[in-house]
Structure 1
Amino acid sequence: MKFKGFTIALLLSVAATQLLAQNRTQEFGFQSDNDSFLAQGSDRYYTNGLFVFYRRGMDFKNPKLANKVLGFEIGQKIFNPISGSVPDATYVDRPFAGYLYIGANINYLFRNESNFKFSLQTGVIGPSALGRQVQIAIHKTFGFYQLNGWQYQIKNNFQVNASAEYNRLLFRQSWVDLTATAYANGGTGFTGAGIGPLLRLGNYNLLFNSVSTQSTATRNSIAPMHAKEIFLHYKPQFNYIAYDATVKGKLGNQELEPGSLEITSDPKSLTFSHQVGVSYAGPRWIFDATATFVTKEVKTQTFNTHQWGSVSVVYRFNGYKPKM
C-alpha cells in the first residue's frame, strides 16, 4: 500500500510539473506595424507603430473565471499624409501626427469563453510624441527618401484614454470557430466603437488561454487543449469614430494660435476594416503576422483605403511559485 501511495504521489507530482510547464505565468514582447511590410510601395496614413508590453497571470477567486491577466504597455504611432515628404501644405490630405503613450490593462476571462478587457492610456499627441524624430531615424537607417512636412503636424495635447473590449464564443467545430468581438473607446483623444466577428481556422486553444485574447500568461489550473497553437485568423469589423485627435487635434477649442502651421482635418464617422493573419504560440515563444486593410478614415484623404502589416514576437516565462 505504501508503494502504491508513493506511485500515485509521484504521478501527481509529474502531472503538476507538466501543467506548470505549460502555464507560463509571465510574458514579454513587442509588436511592430509598418505599411512597408506589405511591399505595396506606399508610405502614407498610419505608417509606423511600435509597442512593447509585459503581461502577468493573476490569482483569482471568482469560480466563473478561468484566467485573469494584468498588462502594461508603452507604444508609439506615426501618421503621414499621402507621403512623408510633401512639397507644400496643399498635399497634406491627412495630418502629420505622432502618438506616444504608456498604458495598463486588466483582462477578465471566463469559463464560458467570454472576456472583458479594460485599458487605460496616458500620453501625448504632437511634437513631444517624437514622431518626426523616429521617422527620420527609420528613413536614414534604411536609406529611404528625405522627409518634409512635419512642420504641419498636430500640436501637443495631453492624452487620457480608456477602452473596453468584449469577446464571446459563438460557434466551434474541431478546426474552426467563430467569436463575436466589440470594443469602445473614450477620452481626450479617441472616442468610438466597433463590432465584428473573429474567425479562426486551425489548431487553437480555448479563448481563456489563447493568443487570440492575449491570455497566454496564466496561473489557472485548466490545461490548454493544445501544447501549441497555430491557426489562421480573419476579422472584419465595422467602426464608428466620434473623435480622433491625430486627425482633429486638441479636443475643445479648434482655433489656431497666431503663426501656427498646424493642419487638421475631420475623421470619417464610419469605416470598415478587415484583418487576416497567422498566429503561433508554443511553450516559450509566440509569433503573429497580420495584414490590416482599412477604408477611408479621414474626409480629405486622396486614397479610399490604406493598409499595413503587423509582426509580434512574445517570450513566455515562469515567475511564480505555487504555495506549498
Structure 2
Amino acid sequence: MYPYKALLFILLLFSLDYSSVYSQNSSYRSEFGFISDNDAYLATGQDRYYTNGLFLNLRHAVSPARIRSDKVFKNIWEFNVAQQMYNPKSGYAPTQRYVDRPFAGYLFGSYARHWLFKNENSIRAEIQIGTIGQHSLADKGQEFYHHAFGFYNIDGWQYQIENEIGINTKVSYLLKLTESKNKKLDLSLPFSAHLGNYFSGLDMSALFRMGKINPLNNSVATNSSIGNEGKYKGEFYFFLKPRLNWVAYNATISGSMFNPKSDNEITFDSRPLVFAQEAGLAYAKERWNLGFSLTFKTKEIESSAKAHQYGSVRVAYKFGKNL
C-alpha cells in the first residue's frame, strides 16, 4: 500500500510557521486520535513484515480534585482499539517457500492509566484483550485495502497463525534524566515490560528531544498535553528514540502459545534481541497534535527474513476545554 497523500499532508502541516507554537493556547481535558503505521510511508515500494497498523485512542485527564497524591501532576486514562497486520516479504506468497515471516494479525482493545509526576517521571499500566489468527480479520482487511486501491492480489493467508484469544499486560516507566539550560534539549529513559500469551519481554530506550519542548508531564511525547489547568504551550521538536528489545515470546512470529499448530500454519522462532531506531518530528498547537516518524529495526526472525523499516503518522484532536 502506498498512501502518499497522507505523508504529504503531514509534511505540509510540519511546514507551518514554527514561531506560532510559542503562543499560549487553551488547555483541554480530552483527546481522540489515531496512529497509522505502514512501511509504504518510506516510499521504497516494500510491503513486508509489519506491513500495517491502525490504532484508535481516546484519552481523558482526571480532575485535579480527584488526585490524592501531592507528587502526581496528572492522571490520564486511555482506551484503545487496534489492528496490526504482518506478512512475509510480500503479501503474495502462493507457496510455502515464499513465507519468510508468518502471516499474522493482532486485533485488540485496551485500557490504560498513566500517572505523571511533578518531577517529570511517569508510570503507565495497560491491559490488552484481543485475538490473533483468523479472528483478527487481518486477512480480510489486507484484501480489502489492496482491492480498494488497485494493488496486487493477496495470496498466502492460508498459512497464517492459529486463532487464540488472550490477555497481555504492559507496564512502562519513564525516567527524566537531564535537560539543557535553555530547555530546548532533554534526555529521558523509557522502560517497559510486557507479559501475556501474545507478547512477553522487556524494552529499554533513550528518548532525545530537541526544539520547542514542554516538560514531559505536559507533552505530546508522553501523550499528556491534555489536562493542564493553565495554558498549554505548543511544541515543535525533533526526536530520536533508540530501543533495545529483549523478546521472550512473540505470538505473531511463533504462533499460538496454547493451541496446537495446524497443518498449514507456518511459524518461526523469534530472535531474542532486536534493536530499533525511531526518528521523527512532533508538532502541537491549540487543539491538534501531529507527528511523523520512521522506525528502522534489525532482523526479528530466525529465518531468511531481513531487517525492516516502517513509518508512523500520528494525529490527535483535543476537546473539552478546561474552565
Q: Which residue of 1 aligns with 2:137?
A: 130
Residue identity in the other structure for 2:241: K
Task: Tell me how far apart the structure 1 counterparts of residues 294 and 83 of structure 2 sit (CA, whole Å).
Answer: 19
Asked if the contact 1:66/1:222 (under 8 Å) is kept, the reply is no
Residue identity in the other structure for 2:146: H
Select 1:289's aligned residue among 285, 288, 292. 292
Count of aligned pairs? 296
Task: Tell me how far apart the structure 1 counterparts of residues 106 and 321 of structure 2 sit (CA, whole Å).
Answer: 32
Task: Tell me how far apart the structure 2 counterparts of residues 186 and 102 of structure 1 sit (CA, whole Å).
Answer: 16
Residue identity in the other structure for 2:224: S
Q: Which residue of 1 aligns with 2:52?
A: 48
Q: Which residue of 1 aligns with 2:257?
A: 251
Q: Which residue of 2 aligns with 1:192?
A: 201
Using the TM superposition, give the Cα deviation of residue 222 of structure 1 relative to its aligned residue in structure 2, in angstroms: 5.4
* 2:86 aligned with 1:82: no
Using the TM superposition, give the Cα deviation of residue 319 of structure 1 relative to its aligned residue in structure 2, in angstroms: 5.8
Select 1:167's aligned residue among 168, 174, 178. 174
Deviations 1:274-321 (A, max 9, x none): 100000111100100010111011111421x10100001100011665
Which runs of 5 or more structure 1 residues have no equivalent in the other structure? 1-17
Using the TM superposition, give the Cα deviation of residue 265 of structure 1 relative to its aligned residue in structure 2, in angstroms: 0.9
Task: Tell me how far apart the structure 2 counterparts of residues 308 and 301 of structure 1 sit (CA, whole Å).
Answer: 19
Q: Which residue of 1 aligns with 2:17?
A: none
Question: Residue 28 of structure 2: SS of its match in structure 1?
Answer: coil
Task: Tell me how far apart the structure 2 counterparts of residues 131 and 166 of structure 1 sit (CA, whole Å).
Answer: 31
Asked if the contact 2:235/2:282 (under 8 Å) is kept, the reply is yes
Change (3 A) 1:40 1:248: same
Asked if the contact 1:204/1:229 (under 8 Å) is kept, the reply is yes
Select 1:315's aligned residue among 314, 317, 320. 317
Residue identity in the other structure for 1:206: P
The alignment yields a C-alpha RMSD, in angstroms, of 1.6
Structural mapping, 1:95-244, within 5 Å: 95-173=102-180, 174=182, 175-218=184-227, 220-221=228-229, 223-224=231-232, 227-244=233-250
Deviations 1:62-94 (A, max 9, x none): 110111110000000000011100130121111
Deviations 1:117-168 (A, max 9, x none): 1001001001010101111111112211101100000110012000011111
Task: Tell me how far apart the structure 2 counterparts of residues 48 and 299 of structure 1 sit (CA, whole Å).
Answer: 21
TM-score (norm 1): 0.88
Which runs of 5 or more structure 2 residues have no equivalent in the other structure? 1-22
Using the TM superposition, give the Cα deviation of residue 41 of structure 1 relative to its aligned residue in structure 2, in angstroms: 1.0
Deviations 1:205-262 (A, max 9, x none): 00001000111121x44554xx210000100011100001111111135x434xx311
Question: Residue 25 of structure 1: SS of its match in structure 2?
Answer: strand
Q: Which residue of 2 aligns with 1:274?
A: 277
Residue identity in the other structure for 2:204: I
Question: Residue 318 of structure 1: SS of its match in structure 2?
Answer: strand
Task: Tell me how far apart the structure 1 counterparts of residues 321 and 177 of structure 2 sit (CA, whole Å).
Answer: 34
Question: Residue 87 of structure 1: SS of its match in structure 2?
Answer: coil
Residue identity in the other structure for 1:265: F
TM-score (norm 2): 0.88
Residue identity in the other structure for 2:205: G
Select 1:306's aligned residue among 305, 308, 323. 308
Task: Tell me how far apart the structure 2 counterparts of residues 237 and 83 of structure 1 sit (CA, whole Å).
Answer: 26
Deviations 1:171-190 (A, max 9, x none): 11121111111111001110
Using the TM superposition, give the Cα deviation of residue 23 of structure 1 relative to its aligned residue in structure 2, in angstroms: 2.1
Q: Which residue of 1 aligns with 2:34?
A: 30
Q: Which residue of 2 aligns with 1:9?
A: none
Q: Rg bigger for which structure?
A: 1
Task: Tell me how far apart the structure 1 counterparts of residues 144 and 169 of structure 2 sit (CA, whole Å).
Answer: 30
Task: Tell me how far apart the structure 2 counterparts of residues 109 and 222 of structure 1 sit (CA, whole Å).
Answer: 16
